[in-house]
Structure 1
Amino acid sequence: MRLSTLAAAFLLVAASGSATLAGPAEDLARSRINAIAGGDLATVTAAYSPAATLHWVGGPLDGTYSQPDKIKEVWSKFFTAQGAQKANIATATEAANPKGGTVTIDATFAGKNTVKVRYVLLYRDGKLVDEIWQVNPAATY
């Protein structure tokens, strides 16, 4: 009887989707993806801590940005270049402990251009402190 209870517990965990197991950092990252897809500059920039850094790797916006006005300028350029767009998340994983959470997302943003990215976000105290936007054109997702 004990073995069947254990097996049932494993089946229940396996049957539940990863979205139901998402932690707070992954929830923040998924909301961020939606804000980026929606071109919501105010929401995107409000997520940063005052000393945040954005590493944009590849494409015409390549660079490292650590001043709030420069980060805002980069996102504004991206939104202008993309126009209306939709986002599709292929995978999302979260690693978290009491000090913070890191989320890695593979996503495609489809607007005027199709932009595939590996997106890594580090959150501390609910604020985005470091992010890597790695343009990944060879991705197959």
Structure 2
Amino acid sequence: MIADAMVKNGEVPKYEKVAARYQSRKAAWIRRNTPESPVELSNMVVARLYELIERSWREGGRGPFWGEVRDEMGWDQSQTRDALHRLRESGGIHFTNDAGSLTAGDNRSLKASADVAMAKSIRKHSGSEHRLVAS
């Protein structure tokens, strides 16, 4: 895929160039998808998110876009992605790939299930379970 794009742009896809571009894209993906400081999904944070979701549906007839969630909650892009995926895993929210599809889920008591989802997320991103030491 990278080599094809290089050929379309009139470049010669030498091994070193393809490998460097692959590493660059991989590093960018990791930066975008790994939150530097995961969001603590306290009951207050989750309640605020539910209010945002309900207000968006009431006023706009759709769920909030992720950028709106990010701005309202004060999160960065990776924190937003991580928090919304953890909440979806716990049953607290639902969404599809469609813009504006974010809805509140059936599981309104999220604290324990969000903590479990956070532990899974840390395991997935760290590649190690050593960070899961109880404090």
Q: Do the two structures share a fold, i.e. TM-score over 0.5?
A: no
TM-score by length of 1: 0.29
**Higher RCO, 1 or 2 (CA under 8 Å, sep at least 6)?**
1
More strand by share: 1
Q: Which has the larger radius of gyration?
A: 2
